[in-house]
Amino acid sequence: MADDTDGARRTFGPVVLLGLAGSGFAAVAGHKEMLAIPEATLTAAGGIAPTVQERSVEFPLAGALALVALAAWGVLLVTRGVVRRGAGVLALVAAAGIVVVVVVGGFVQDDEAASDLATRLGLNLAAVEVERSGWLWVALGCATVALVAAGAAVRLVPSWPEMGSRYDAPTVAGTTAATASADDPAEQSNLDLWKSLDEGHDPTDGPTDR
């Protein structure tokens, strides 16, 4: 059982890195052209488009979902318990959403994208044919990686190491402990020593007249 727990804990770094990398690259790819009319096709149809943006279609929803997944991984790193698992579920849902957007937009509704581009450029639809860009494949591949990593996170997160409680916001108990230590002469002496060092005094020089 201990070996299983240790093995699960060792997955923390690789899974988080995969999730961050997959979500990050998907966010970049999601804001690039996904479907485009080849320049040669456009020229043959008598159209002129000076930039690739004018003859291409983007999937901004994919980029937005990738940013959500990226934020969820950040939350997962600094939280514990139910909130941490919830962040993993959010990353999973967002990554799945990216895959759906890319697949539907790039493979199911590509004819509609061609029609929109033909209308935008004033071309005959019969002469327009769109092709899938490299960014579409990058988005799909990275979203799949992020999806697998998020699924692993949801399953393994209970056994992953957590940040210590010292990173939490101060509590009433912590404030009480701090007050108690201030009343302790030994603790107060240590505080005076550190304050003296901070002011540039050498405690080994002995007392000095002020």
Are residues 54 and 142 part of one domain? yes
| Shared domain check, 162 and 176 | no
The CATH number given to whatever domain includes residue 43 is: 1.20.140
The residue written with tokens 């959500």 in the block is 68
pTM given for the model: 0.71
3-state secondary structure of 69: helix
What pLDDT, in 10s, does the model give residues 129-139?
Answer: 788 999 999 99
Give residue 15's domain range.
Answer: 2-166
Q: How far apart are CA 90 and CA 150, in angstroms?
A: 9
Give the pLDDT confidence of 60-70 residue by residue, as tens digits.
Answer: 999 999 999 99
Looking at the fold, whether 105 and 191 belong to one and the same domain comes out as no
Residues 174, 119, single domain; the answer is no
177 belongs to a structural domain: yes
Count of the separate structural domains present in the chain: 2
Over residues 101-152, the pLDDT tens digits come to 999 999 998 888 888 887 777 777 666 778 899 999 999 999 999 999 999 9
Q: DSSP string spanning 12-80?
A: HHHHHHHHHHHHHHHHHHTTSEEEE--HHHHHHTT---SSGGGGEEE-HHHHHHHHHHHHHHHHHHH--
- pLDDT, position 177: 47
Name the residue among 58, 57, 50 with its Cα closest to residue 114: 57
